[in-house]
Amino acid sequence: MKHELDAIGLLCPLPVLKARKRLQPLAMGDTLEMRADDPAAIVDVPHFCAEAGHELVEMRDDGAAQIYVIRKGR
């Protein structure tokens, strides 16, 4: 199942903290599509996924924002 999170306007570490909170109740294998415009998210989100056991499925630009698609792992 796909879920969405709008983290536009939030600065480090808020996008990752919001993603962590949003992922907690999801079933393993569900995806979260997060929009963020924080420049630090480009480094923070992949690091968070690696540390937390989630898969960063896709990372792409969408105008001034980035889209991160995260598949919940453990």
Express each pLDDT in 9-46 by its tens digit. Answer: 999 999 999 999 999 999 999 999 999 999 999 999 99
According to CATH, the superfamily of the domain at 2-71 is TusA-like domain (3.30.110.40)
Mean pLDDT of the 66-71 span: 98
- pLDDT tens column, 48-66: 999 999 999 999 999 999 9
Catalytic pick among 3, 10, 12, 56: 12
The verdict on whether 12 is a catalytic residue reads yes
Angle made by CA atoms 62, 66, 68, in degrees to the nearest 5 = 120
44 and 7 Cβ atoms separated by less than 8 Å: no
Q: Per-domain residue ranges for the chain?
A: 2-71
